[in-house]
Amino acid sequence: MPRVDFYILADSSSDKRELFACRLAEKAYDADQAVYIYTDSVASARRVDELLWTFKQGSFIPHGLSDANPGGDAVLIGTQAPAENQKRQILLNLSRNMPPFFEKFERVMELVGDQKDEKTVARDRYKKYREAECEVHAHNIGR
């Protein structure tokens, strides 16, 4: 089972979550780890795709949308499970739901905002990961 890290952010805005996701994707890319970013919607996937181009001056992370990509980029973004030929080590979850395909990854990163409803949903996911016998960790960011 994968290791699961919950990052609890001090700011709940989607912009802050997406920026933090970009920073995590960059760190993974620098460590030669392939990432799949799971989102709730095509619009969200496109926002993250665009943000990966602009979030940090001088940064370049090969990335693309999963549906339009044969799997070669270091970071793929999508709303469904990645295709079998799109092997990834890290699943970065920007969805409010627990990805039903999480066990295919070595590591799962969950981003949680500071709003009460987000924390409630995240607690449920935390419990489900523990029940699946994942090694689960929590990190407070920006506090």
**Cβ atoms within 10 Å, residue 4:** 25
- Residue 68: pLDDT band (50, 70, 90) is low
Instruction: Work out the percent of the chain whose per-residue pLDDT is above 90.
Output: 58
Confirm whether pTM is higher than 0.95. no
Residue 99 has pLDDT above 90, yes or no: yes
Residue 129, phi-psi category: left (phi > 0), alpha (psi -120 to 50), beta (remainder): alpha
Q: What is the pLDDT of residue 82?
A: 87
Residue 69 has pLDDT above 80, yes or no: no
Q: What is the pLDDT of residue 63?
A: 83
Fill in the DSSP letter of residue 95: S
Rounded to the nearest integer, the mean pLDDT of the chain is 88
Residue 17 has pLDDT above 90, yes or no: no
| pLDDT, greater one: 115 or 143 | 115
- 111 in Cβ contact with 94 (< 8 Å): yes
Q: What is the pLDDT of residue 84?
A: 80
Q: Could you tell me the residue ranges of all domains in the chain?
A: 3-141
Q: What is the pLDDT of residue 115?
A: 84
Q: What is the pLDDT of residue 71?
A: 61
Among 55, 73, 65, residue whose Cα is nearest residue 18 = 55
Q: Which CATH superfamily is domain 3-141 in?
A: DNA polymerase III subunit chi (3.40.50.10110)
55-64, 72-81, 112-121: which has the minimum mean pLDDT?
Answer: 55-64
